[in-house]
């Protein structure tokens, strides 16, 4: 009978911030989808900020402070360590909002920086590439943010270029061309869909196009806005002090309640409007989920970049201050602790205006 690779007998020691042992003993260590359980100790992967496995010793650095050490794994060490790393990394992909709805196509390689290489897994979704280093936190590169996807020969890599620093996907071996082609295929599928939808090029997933760069800007708002959002769009266009932006985004946290538009949008897609009002930027979802209106104290370009990196996930933005307190029991704690775009958007949120009979009055009060 084949041994379960997620179970192994081990000696364990849990230490606190002072390095003193709090719990120790021998027990069966079990790898779950969300945590490692060994004896009386449960170590959530959302709190396992570092994992080191070498010389038959596994160390997990735990937030907020402490360390769990496993030894005496014997011949099970390599298999168990590999399973533990995979489970931990995947839990942290979700915890840092770098996951998707469907299963990704996975490429194993290394993240390159000059001649340095860090082993990593590249998870290709329809909407983004999740970069998952073995020794660090995962993040996502939205396909809609890409300006160039190219092959590099020295060192061999697939290079993803966006407004930020390029990302070099290396050590792919014979899979390099397949990875390059798969990213281009998904990127082209997005662009073709949006060109078909809007009748023009220039739109990309999650990025707002300024009014001057979009043909028939107002007509598109009329075509795609849900009936109960059309007055909101008119209000925001009247309030805008600089060029508003219109865009479409493929949502990764779709709601059960959605508002349809006169021209039907593809499944899980939404249309959004970003309106600069003085030093503020107002976000309105015009078709799709029943989302509130957000008012941010930041420029429209920065707000759009952060939203695109989050892929417009609204649940962590909607948390109240009490709900956003970073505690060991908060399911959003990893993103709240470490996801910079989420932190920046929450820090510059002026108001979250719920759609009701007092919406316009509340909005004007928020931007006053």
Over residues 163-213, the pLDDT tens digits come to 888 999 999 999 999 999 999 999 999 999 999 999 999 999 999 999 999
Query: How would you class 30 by CB atoms within 10 Å of its CB: exposed for 0-12, middle for 13-18, buried for 19 or more?
Result: middle
C-alpha angle with apex 310: 305 to 311, nearest 5 degrees? 90
Cα separation of 20 and 305, whole Å? Answer: 44
For 213-242, what is the mean pLDDT?
A: 94
Cα separation of 40 and 321, whole Å? Answer: 33
The answer on pLDDT for 2 being more than 70 is no
Reported as a pLDDT band with limits 50, 70 and 90, residue 17 is confident
H or E segment at 281? Answer: strand 280-289
Using DSSP, state whether 71 is helix, strand or coil. strand
Selection from 65, 64, 56 nearest residue 20 by Cα: 65
The pLDDT of residue 351 is: 96
C-alpha Rg value of the chain to the nearest Å: 23
The pLDDT of residue 256 is: 66
Reported as a pLDDT band with limits 50, 70 and 90, residue 131 is very high
For 18-43, what is the mean pLDDT?
A: 94
Chain segment 142-156, per-residue pLDDT in tens: 999 999 999 999 999
Dihedrals phi, psi of 322, to nearest 5 degrees: -65, -40
DSSP letters for 48-84: EEEEEEETTEEEEEESSS-EEEEE--GGGHHHHHHHH
Cα separation of 21 and 125, whole Å? Answer: 42
- Extract the tokens encoding 214: 């979009």
CA 324 to chain centre: 17
For 326-352, what is the mean pLDDT?
A: 97
**Sole residue written with tokens 């695109």:** 308
- Extract the tokens encoding 288: 């799709």
Q: How far is CA 39 from CA 51, 76, 148, in A?
A: 19, 18, 50
The pLDDT of residue 264 is: 83
Beta strands in 72-216 (DSSP E): 105-113, 116-124, 128-133, 139-142, 148-153, 156-161, 167-170, 209-210
Reported as a pLDDT band with limits 50, 70 and 90, residue 19 is confident
Reported as a pLDDT band with limits 50, 70 and 90, residue 368 is confident
Q: Tell whether the torsion through CA atoms of 89, 91, 94 and 100 is positive or negative.
A: positive
For 31-45, what is the mean pLDDT?
A: 97
The answer on pLDDT for 253 being more than 90 is no
Antiparallel, parallel or unpaired: β 67-71 and 57-62: antiparallel
Mean pLDDT of the chain: 94
Angle formed by the axes of helices 340-347 and 300-310, nearest 10°? 130
Specify which residues 133 forms β-bridges with: 120
Q: What percent of the chain has pLDDT over 90?
A: 86
Cα separation of 141 and 231, whole Å? Answer: 34
H or E segment at 259? Answer: strand 258-259
The pLDDT of residue 160 is: 98
The answer on pLDDT for 1 being more than 70 is no
For 333-340, what is the mean pLDDT?
A: 97
């Amino acid at each position: 009978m084949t041994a379960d690779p997620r179970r192994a007998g081990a000696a364990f020691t849990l230490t606190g911030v002072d390095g003193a042992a709090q719990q120790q003993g021998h027990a069966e260590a079990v790898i779950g989808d969300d945590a490692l359980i060994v004896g009386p100790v449960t170590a959530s992967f959302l709190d396992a900020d570092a994992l080191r496995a070498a010389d038959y010793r596994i160390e997990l650095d735990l937030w907020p402070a402490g360390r769990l050490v496993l030894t005496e794994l014997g011949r099970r060490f390599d298999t168990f360590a590999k399973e533990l790393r995979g489970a931990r990394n995947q839990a942290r992909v979700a915890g840092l909002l770098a996951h998707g709805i469907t299963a990704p196509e996975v490429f194993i390689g290394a993240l390159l920086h000059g001649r340095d290489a860090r082993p990593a897994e590249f998870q290709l979704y329809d909407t983004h590439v999740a970069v998952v280093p073995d020794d660090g936190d995962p993040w996502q590169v939205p396909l809609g943010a890409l300006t160039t996807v190219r092959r590099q020969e020295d060192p061999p890599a697939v290079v993803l270029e966006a407004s930020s620093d390029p990302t070099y996907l290396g050590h792919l071996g014979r899979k390099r061309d397949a990875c390059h082609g798969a990213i281009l295929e998904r990127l082209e599928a997005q662009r073709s869909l949006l060109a078909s939808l809007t009748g023009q090029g220039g739109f990309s997933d999650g990025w707002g196009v300024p009014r001057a760069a979009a043909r028939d800007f107002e007509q598109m708002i009329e075509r795609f806005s849900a009936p109960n959002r059309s007055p909101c769009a008119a209000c925001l266009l009247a309030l805008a002090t600089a060029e508003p932006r219109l865009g479409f985004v493929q949502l990764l946290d779709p709601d059960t309640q959605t508002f349809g538009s006169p021209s039907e949008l593809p499944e899980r897609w939404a249309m959004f409007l970003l309106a600069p009002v003085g030093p503020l930027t107002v976000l309105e979802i015009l078709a799709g989920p029943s989302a509130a209106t957000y008012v941010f104290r930041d420029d429209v370009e920065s707000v759009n970049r952060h939203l695109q990196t989050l892929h417009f996930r609204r649940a962590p933005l909607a948390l109240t201050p009490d709900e956003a307190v970073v505690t060991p029991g908060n399911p959003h704690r990893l993103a709240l602790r470490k996801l910079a775009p989420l932190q920046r958007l929450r820090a510059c949120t002026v108001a979250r205006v719920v759609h009701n009979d007092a919406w316009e009055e509340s909005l004007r009060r928020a931007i006053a």
